[in-house]
Structure 1
């Protein structure tokens, strides 16, 4: 993510994120996943590195899940991100197809899964960069717990999520349960995912993924 260079080559995100999201298929197939952990205030170490998890952040109570509605736009005020959402499916390997590079300012939503605001974990993916420029989630690792993510839905509502966890999950010991499993059963949760770590030019892949976790805390028109 910090290794953005125009000459690095087309296709970084697609190869860099596929190794992680290939496990989405397994997660969806056998989702007996329950709580990942009791809380998110303690720092992590080893292959799962916390990007930012201040001890003093007081997080609001969860809002009751909403009815199902398709996402149309994602707003992350702290990053000045305001991006359209397009529905994406899985590729033959079971990875979420990210938006095509000509739509690198869009966010991809896994349309076969949970709709943002409904109970469960909704998955949103975005490019970190392209061959020539930063993309929609270039600064995603700068998000911090307590900040807001707003998803405009096709029923006219805006689902407001509060970030509760930001992690960089390494390629070598990726854990789908930690990435995609609910932090608390019964909540409406959101995952924002992009590439992270260092970029391997030979392999044309990133060494990690940035995974931002958030949960529903409000709703507005």
Structure 2
């Protein structure tokens, strides 16, 4: 989810910038650093993951696409995917704040279906619940290891990823040299980022969760 280099300063702005609204624009716009790592250690390479059969409806030989919709098989959710660059604050764009279900693909990084790098997707978390981010990280009904994430373009071509794991990251600990989210040259994978740990006093989210999914083919 094309290789466009982002300079470290720009990455720092994207990671550190936070939303002053109580409902977070959860994705790359306000993402940060891993509590467990500041680089790639602890993040399995996509090439090391056993892929298994290609699910029906997925491209057997993925190619880069511009997605317009997504679905997650295990959660039975589907909605639009919007293309977003950086917004007026210098942060990666996210879906409209009143859109709880859509994802945004960060179009200044690798495309969905690219053969290397992190295809970054963002989704909202609402502090009162009800958004995609809340659903993804729900311990009982959220995304599960092995769930298939389907991303489809306007021509009907579908690139699929198999969800593997997530990491929780803290805003205050961000290391701009980290490539836990923005990585244009590493193994191909999708990285969905949401906001978490809402702080009522500040109206902000103190952490982010990044969900990693690897190509099925």
> 5+ residue gaps in structure 1?
1-8, 24-34, 42-57
Contact residue 116 and residue 188 of structure 1 kept, 8 A: no
Which residue does the alignment assign to 1:40?
44
- Aligned mates of 1:15, 1:124 — CA distance in 2: 10
Deviation at 1:133, TM superposition (A): 5.2
SS in 2 for 1:70: coil
Which residue does the alignment assign to 1:5?
none
Contact residue 62 and residue 215 of structure 1 kept, 8 A: no
Distance 1:20 1:62, change over 3 A: farther
SS in 1 for 2:82: strand
5 Å-filtered alignment, 1:114-125, equals 114-119=110-115, 120-125=117-122
- Aligned mates of 1:150, 1:15 — CA distance in 2: 20
Deviation at 1:214, TM superposition (A): 0.9
SS in 1 for 2:179: helix
Which residue does the alignment assign to 1:30?
none
- The one of 3, 8, 23 aligned to 1:12: 23
Deviation at 1:174, TM superposition (A): 2.7
Distance 1:15 1:209, change over 3 A: closer
Greater share of helix? 1
Question: What TM-score do you get using the length of structure 1 for normalisation?
Answer: 0.67
Which residue does the alignment assign to 1:201?
200
- Aligned mates of 1:200, 1:178 — CA distance in 2: 24
Equivalent residues, number: 178
Distance 1:200 1:17, change over 3 A: farther
Question: What TM-score do you get using the length of structure 2 for normalisation?
Answer: 0.68
Contact residue 69 and residue 154 of structure 1 kept, 8 A: no
1:143 aligns with 2:148: no
Q: List per-residue Cα deviations over 1:60-90 (Å, max 9, x = no partner).
A: 2698873322101111122222011111121
Which residue does the alignment assign to 2:105?
109
